[in-house]
Amino acid sequence: VSELRFDELRGEQVVYAIHRQDRTFLPDREHCPLDPTKPGGPETEIPFPSFDIAVFDNRFPAFQAPGGAAEVVVYTDRHDGSFGGLGAAHAERLMWVWRHRYAELGARGDVDYVMIFENRGVEVGVTLHHPHGQIYGYPFLPPVPAAERAADERLGGCAPCELLRRELADGERLLIDGPDVVAYVPHAARWAYEAHVAMRAHRPSLLECEPRELRALAETLQSLARGYDALFERPFPYVMVVHQAPTAGEAGDAPPGAAERSGHLHVEFYPPLRTAEKLKFLAGSEQGAGTFISDTLPEETAVALRDAIARAS
C-alpha cells in the first residue's frame, strides 16, 4: 500500500510505493511477463495463448483501490514492436480501450484524475520492452492538470484551444495539420523534440470524441511516433502522456460528463534526446528552480521533425 505525504514547500503530494523497488526489471526475452502464455510454458500476466489488447491491474501499483488505480495496457501480444508499428485498425482500437478505461476509472469515487501514458526506452526508465503503456488513477488532482486548470483561468477560457489557435496562426512549428487533429512543437517546448497532439475541436476527453476523431488521433500519434524513429534512425525514447479533463468535480466525486469539464484532450510527448546520442538531464535549474533551459529552438526542431515525419510516411 502506498503512502501519500504532502510536501509543504512545493505544495504537492509525494507517493511512497516502496513495494515497487522489487518490480520486474528488464527480464530476458523468454521471461517477458507481458507476452501471452505459451501452452505448457510459465504463466505470464495474460494466461492465454494470444490476445489483441489486454489491460490488467499493475502487480506493483503506485496506487490501488480505495486510493486510486494503476493499470498496465499491453498493446499487442507481439513482444517486438512499438506503438508506431501497430496496424492502423489496431491503433484505433487502442484509442477505444483508452476511452473505456477513462470512463471506468473516472467514474470511481477514489479517482480524481486519469492519466494514460507510455514510457518508451530505457532512457526514460522502461523496465519491460514489450509494447505497453500504463494508466494511473490519481486520488487527487496532480500539479500538471492543476496548472492546466490555472492556465484556463489565466487565458479566460480553454487554454489548449487558445494555444492551438496561436500555433495554427503562426504555422512555423506545425508538424501535422489535419482536419480533426493537429500536431506541433509548442512555442515554449521544454524538451528539444517535445510535441503536442491536440484535438482541433474542443473535446474535454476521449469520451466526447466522434469515432472519426479517434481514428484521426491514432493516425496522428502513429505518424509522429514513426517520425521520431526516423529522426535519428533509431528507436526514439519518449514519455507520451494523454491529458484529459479531471474526473472529480469541485464539490466532490462525479462521473465523467457530469462534473465540471475543464480540460482539452491532447497528447504530449517528452523525448529526452537532444541529439542522436545526447540526453537532456533535469539538473540544477530544472530541479532546483523548476525552470527548463533548452539548447534548441522549437522552430528549428520542428523543421527536423517535419522532415522526419515525411520520410517515415
Partner 1 sequence: MAREPAAPSTPGGGESAVGERFGPLAIERVAKADGRALILYSRAEPPGRAESLGRAEQAERSEREGREPR
Q: Which of 129, 130, 132, 243 is catalytic?
A: 132
For 26, residues 6+ apart whose C-beta sits below 8 A from its C-beta are: 122, 127, 128, 129
Q: Which of 99/266 has CB closer to partner 1?
A: 99
Least distance between partner 1 and beta carbon 259 (Å): 21
User: How many CB atoms within 10 Å of residue 242?
Assistant: 23
Per the DSSP assignment, residues forming a β-bridge with 13 are 6
User: By CB under 8 A, is residue 39 in contact with partner 1?
Assistant: yes
User: By CB under 8 A, is residue 36 in contact with partner 1?
Assistant: yes
Least distance between partner 1 and beta carbon 2 (Å): 16
User: How many CB atoms within 10 Å of residue 165?
Assistant: 11
Give the integer Cα–Cα distance in Å for 301 and 36.
39
Q: Which of 59/154 has CB closer to partner 1?
A: 59
User: By CB under 8 A, is residue 2 in contact with partner 1?
Assistant: no
Q: Which of 87/143 has CB closer to partner 1?
A: 87
Which of 228, 156, 212, 163 has its CA nearest to residue 189? 163
Q: H or E segment at 73?
A: strand 69-74
Determine whether 100 is an active site residue.
no
Give the integer Cα–Cα distance in Å for 210 and 33.
34
The residue to which cell 513482444 is assigned: 79
Per-residue x/- marks for partner 1, 47-66, CB under 8 A?
xxxxxxxxxxx-x-------
Which of 266, 310, 1 has its CA nearest to residue 145? 266
Query: Which of 97, 111, 192, 195: binder of partner 1 (CB under 8 A)?
Result: 97
User: By CB under 8 A, is residue 212 in contact with partner 1?
Assistant: no
Choices 18-26, 96-104, 137-145, 277-285 (CB under 8 A): range interacting with partner 1: 96-104
For residue 142 the three cell numbers come to: 496532480
The footprint of partner 1 on this chain (CB under 8 A) covers a number of residues equal to: 33
Give the integer Cα–Cα distance in Å for 214 and 109.
27
Cis peptide before 66 (omega within 30 of 0): yes
Choices 30-38, 110-118, 240-248, 286-294 (CB under 8 A): range interacting with partner 1: 30-38
- DSSP string covering 214-249: HHHHHHHHHHHHHHHHHHTTSPPPEEEEEE---SEE
Q: Which of 13/37 has CB closer to partner 1?
A: 37
For residue 106, which amino acid is it?
G
Query: Which of 22, 43, 250, 295: binder of partner 1 (CB under 8 A)?
Result: 43
Strands 248-249 and 238-243: unpaired
Query: Which of 24, 32, 93, 168: binder of partner 1 (CB under 8 A)?
Result: 93
Contact 223, 176 (CB under 8 A): yes
Task: Give, as ranges, the residues between 182 and 211 that touch partner 1 (CB under 8 A).
Answer: 211
Query: Which of 99, 129, 173, 196: binder of partner 1 (CB under 8 A)?
Result: 99
Least distance between partner 1 and beta carbon 132 (Å): 13
Least distance between partner 1 and beta carbon 33 (Å): 12
Query: Which of 38, 165, 166, 234: binder of partner 1 (CB under 8 A)?
Result: 38
Which residues in this chain contact partner 1 in the complex, by CB under 8 A?
Answer: 36-41, 43, 45-57, 59, 77, 87-90, 92-93, 96-97, 99-100, 211
